[in-house]
Amino acid sequence: MLVLRRVRADRGETLIELVISIAILGICVVAIGAGIIGTVMISTVHRDQADASTILHNYAEALQATTYSACAGSTYSLPTVSGFAAPTISIAY
């Protein structure tokens, strides 16, 4: 009788229990991996946006630091070709 009780207590897990636990762990690993990959992709996009914002801000500051110089003339007309009647376009500042 003592031998039968020891055998029943040492039965362990069945193959189905092991397969189910491995499947659950696999699903958890895939979910965590997808979350990490998504975080890395979003981080890359945010870093690129921050770099673009910094570059744009630097160009805007450089543009504001320059002094205004008026153009040589107030109007500009395109030259016409002989034998061709095209309207003259003038641009006023």
Q: Over its length of 93 residues, how does the chain's per-residue pLDDT go in tens digits?
A: 555 555 555 667 788 999 999 999 999 999 999 999 999 999 999 999 999 898 889 888 888 887 776 666 656 565 655 666 656 677 776
Give this prediction's pTM.
0.46
Query: CA-CA distance, 81 to 85, in Å (whole number)?
Result: 8
Helical residues (DSSP H) of 1-93, grouped into ranges: 2-9, 15-65
27's tokens:
């699903």
